[in-house]
Amino acid sequence: MRYYSGFGFWNEKKLFENYLEEDEFVVAGFSYGAQKALIDAVHTTKRVDKLQLLSPAFFPKNSKFAKLQINAFKKDKNSYIKHFLENVKYPTEINLDIYLDEPELYQLEEMFEFNWGLVEYAKQKNITIEVYVGEKDKIIDIENAVKFFKNYAKVYFIKDAGHLL
C-alpha cells in the first residue's frame, strides 16, 4: 500500500487501520493526502486496484473562503494550526502530538486549488474508489463531498465521527 499523509500530519496511517486495506495494489490518503493519493493513482504506471480516500480535503469552490484560510495561516501560523487541530480532533480528544508535522503554506494553497474532477480518470482506469467521511467533520464540506463522490465511489458515511473518523 502507498499511503499519503494529511496536512500537518506525518505517519498517522495507524489512526485509520480499521479502514485501510493493506495490499500492494491499494493507494490511500487522509485529507490533503487523499488529493496526493488520487494524483498517484491516476498518473502512476504501477497497478492500482483500489483508491481509499479518508476524509478527503473537499472544499467549496469559494475563493473568499480559501483566501480567508490562507491569510489566517500567513498572519499567525501557530494560532491557525491550533484551531485547525481542534477541529480535526472533534469530537474526540485524541493526542495527536506524535503524528504532527510542520505544515507549509504551499500545501494549504494546493488543498484549496485542487480539482477533484481528476477522480473521473481514476474511474476510467477501473480503479475501485472508497471514500470515508465523518458525520461530524468540521474540516471539509461534508454535504457536497458526499454528493460529489457518490457518482464515482462507494461512500462510507460514518455516524458520530469527525475528520479523524
Structural domains for the chain: 2-158 (3.40.50.1820)
* Residue 156 in grid coordinates: 462510507
Give this prediction's pTM.
0.96
Which residue type is seen at 97?
D
Candidates 122, 119, 124, 165; CA nearest to 142 is: 165
Alpha carbon distances (Å) from 141 to 14, 94, 103, 106, 136: 24, 22, 21, 21, 11
CB 8 within 8 A of CB 31: no
Phi-psi region of 30 (alpha: psi -120 to 50; beta: other; left: phi over 0): beta
DSSP 62: -
pLDDT category, 138, cuts 50, 70, 90? very high
Percentage of the chain modeled with pLDDT above 90:
97
Residues 73-94, buried b or exposed e (16+ Cβ, 10 A)?
beeeeeebbeebeeebbbeeee
DSSP assignment of 19-30 equals: T----TTEEEEE
Candidates 8, 117, 103; CA nearest to 58 is: 117
Alpha carbon distances (Å) from 62 to 65, 97, 111, 113: 5, 31, 12, 10
pLDDT, tens digit, 9 for 90 and up, residues 26-48: 999 999 999 999 999 999 999 99
The confidence score (pLDDT) of residue 63 equals 81
pLDDT, tens digit, 9 for 90 and up, residues 44-64: 999 999 999 999 999 977 789
